[in-house]
Chain A
Amino acid sequence: KAGVTQTPRYLIKTRGQQVTLSCSPISGHRSVSWYQQTPGQGLQFLFEYFSETQRNKGNFPGRFSGRQFSNSRSEMNVSTLELGDSALYLCASSIRGLAIRTDTQYFGPGTRLTVL
């Protein structure tokens, strides 16, 4: 089975711009979660999508948004970029969003976003 893929792998943007990141889950996985990883804050949960619906959201401002398509692929958008948004953005997929005890999240390689 192919693993979770994320595109692009690297992005450089300037303050005020917006950016869209893409995630393709493992085949058969319907849940996609997004995390932000920074040296200072570690891994923080952004949101989770299941069957095209956002079911869970972390404590991030409304500039961070996402969506999921009918094929379970997901995109994450950050508008009005700030310097502090520079981070590694990880996507993880699972069958049902850890709703069953045997479910597991598998992570993609991440997109490294640098905001100048």
Chain B
Amino acid sequence: AQRVTQPEKLLSVFKGAPVELKCNYSYSGSPELFWYVQYSRQRLQLLLRHISRESIKGFTADLNKGETSFHLKKPFAQEEDSAMYYCALAGGTSYGKLTFGQGTILTVHP
């Protein structure tokens, strides 16, 4: 079975502070992991995926297979980063299915 856990429902930081959104997963095979973001009144959009290993809007995420984690990090948070963040997993022959975590609402205060 596939499962994604985001332990923090709410996360508040001040502008310029580092931020880390946690994501843990459970999957027996080799997963594909994603971070999606939903800004206020906008559609869900892909932020980054682990195979691309690129930094988007200053965010990075490293897949740690030993700890089954895929935490999202940014060294200096900006107010425009305030949004809902979802970690998601795709695996094997489960076609077209992303398993999402419950999401973390990030608020960056000025």
What residues make up the interface of A, taking CB atoms closer than 8 Å to B? 3, 31-33, 35, 42-45, 48-50, 55-56, 58, 90, 92, 94, 97-99, 101-102, 104-110
Contacts and interface: CB of A to CB of B under 8 A. Distances in A.
B51 A50 contact: no
B94 interface: yes
Contacts of A49: 96
B95 A104 contact: no
Contacts of B97: 33, 45, 48, 56, 58, 98
6 contacts: A43-B103, A92-B98, A104-B34, A105-B96, A107-B43, A108-B43
Given A42-B103, A43-B98, A45-B98, 20 more contacts: A31-B95, A42-B100, A43-B103, A44-B100, A48-B95, A48-B97, A55-B95, A56-B95, A56-B97, A97-B95, A98-B32, A98-B97, A99-B93, A99-B95, A102-B51, A104-B49, A107-B43, A107-B44, A108-B43, A110-B43
B12 interface: no
Contacts, number: 65
Nearest to B42: A109
A55 B96 contact: yes
B29 to A, nearest CB: 13
A101 B52 CA distance: 10
Interface of B: 32, 34, 36, 43-46, 49, 51, 86, 90, 93-103
Nearest to B52: A102
A98 B96 contact: yes
Contacts of B99: 45
Nearest to B30: A101
Nearest to B6: A42
Contacts of A44: 100
B102 A98 contact: no
A28 to B, nearest CB: 16
Question: Most chain-A Cβ atoms within 10 A of its Cβ — which of B90, B102, B103?
Answer: B90
B89 to A, nearest CB: 10
Nearest to B86: A43
Given A56-B95, A94-B96, A97-B96, A109 B43 contact: yes
